[in-house]
Structure 1
């Protein structure tokens, strides 16, 4: 009896180990934050146009288009943008989320903020699906003479 239990235990450990080894350690997300322009150059003339030069870009590396309806982007301070009926094409399709006001198009949507969203001295962008599950994050710290960041592929 003990010999049978020992053999079964060894077999189960072997199966569990092989399943663990077969799974990828960290798969890159198909839909992710590609880059963030967090410190736009130019003079703030009070018109709000400078806010639209601050943006976050999403990229879709899957083969299929994704409807972003209900997906959210937020910063480390909790300021949140919820996407409407926006479709991001597959195969490298991109959508820009601009901080200021404007009319949404197929490739550019507007947060309609009356100020900047992203902190220059360091911030974190979170992308979540409509269920609130984290898909990707991108963070940065202050670097002199840098005003944008390309986000790493790993989550």
Structure 2
């Protein structure tokens, strides 16, 4: 009995080991690590989203480009995307670099001889708006470059961006003067993009106008259609007047929003921010048609007419700043500059 049991057990162990080994060898390992999961139904609905930009057959889209859906715009050269299988990732546009949206995060002479960092920041903001207008909630195509590799130093995907009509959006940023060519890295389109940059520089387009003090026009209030027409109608940024420190009367620094539409709007999940990326997330508060609500910088108890940021210091710069208002879906609703 014992002599027969041992060989049988050995045979079972060998068979099981072989089965497990075969299963491991036969399995596939994803070549890309994604950051999070995203519902696949969002991607399937992407093709039905209205695209206000001209489209064509898209015959200029590279054959090796991958179809994705843009779920968030981080700045002028960085987006979050969803793949058809529902996974998501962050993409850094390959070969280009848009200015930072805050002056303190820009560097002198990074864009040739430009040293006006506030001017660069204004164009960084415009670049973000430009990218948001063209890409957010739309289907695009991304293409990798073997010279650059699929991922950069910070783990983000590196790719060229193509619109559905075949337009190289990455190149468009350079042509319009919203970006410089990022020559610090290797990529196949460097010489092509540099030719676009030379033209933009010679015409002082976009950020290249900073060499002659040409700021982006951020004073124009822009509205994007949402469930209502919520607008920033006033910002009292100099709390207490010129002879009083803002920190002494923080609640006299405030923003006034007004519902100019015909429908009530719940502001839950909306965000308002300044150029330095200070953000306030609105609680659930219903703004009726024609109603105004005041957001104070300091502390207090929220009511249906007054909200409080809870900050211990001033938010809005007295000399120059911009307020950006986004709805719960991350769409720019309004901006207010001075």
TM-score, length of structure 1 as denominator length: 0.67
Provide the C-alpha distance between the structure 2 equivalents of 1:102 and 1:49, rounded to a whole number of angstroms.
15
1:7-50 CA deviation, whole Å, 9 max, x = no partner?
Answer: xxxxxxxxx9xxxxxxxxx98561110110000126449xx660
Corresponding position of 1:152: none
Please give the residue correspondences for 1:93-104 in structure 2 after superposition, counting only pairs within 5 Å: 93-104=291-302
Partner of 2:337: 139
Q: CA offsets, 1:63-109, max 9 Å, x none?
A: 1111000000000100000001111111x210100000000000100
- RMSD (Å), alpha carbons: 2.2
Unaligned residue ranges in structure 1 (runs of 5+): 1-15, 17-25, 141-155
Residues 51 and 93 from structure 1, CA distance in 2 versus in 1: closer, same or farther, beyond 3 angstroms? same
Match for 2:327 among 104, 109, 129? Answer: 129
Unpaired segments of 5 or more residues in structure 2? 1-53, 55-220
Q: Over alpha carbons, which structure has the higher Rg?
A: 2
- Aligned counterparts of 1:114 and 1:44: Cα–Cα separation in 2: 13
Pick closer, same or farther for the CA change 1:27–1:54 going to 2, 3 Å. Answer: closer
Which structure is higher in RCO with an 8 Å CA cutoff and minimum separation 6? 1
More helix by share: 2
SS in 2 for 1:122: coil
Alpha carbons of 1:62 and 1:54: their partners in 2 closer, same or farther (altered >3 Å)? same
Q: How many Å separate the matches in 2 of 1:63 and 1:33?
A: 17
Q: Contact 1:55–1:98 at 8 Å: present in 2 too? A: yes
Indicate conservation of the 8 Å contact 1:65/1:87, yes or no: yes
Aligned to 2:27: none
Write the distance in 1 (CA, Å) between the matches of 2:222 and 2:277: 26
Cα distance, 1:95–1:52 mapped onto 2, change above 3 Å? same
Stretches of 4+ aligned residues off by more than 3 angstroms? 26-29, 42-45
- Cα pair distance change 1:104/1:139, threshold 3 Å: same
Q: Match for residue 272 of structure 2?
A: 73
Q: Residue 237 of structure 2 corresponds to which residue in structure 1?
A: 38
In 2: Cα distance, 1:27 partner to 1:71 partner: 16
Once residues 27 and 107 of structure 1 are traced to their aligned partners in structure 2, the CA distance between those partners, rounded to angstroms, is 24
Does the 8 Å contact 1:66/1:88 carry over to 2? yes
Structure 1 contact 75–125 (Cα < 8 Å) conserved: yes
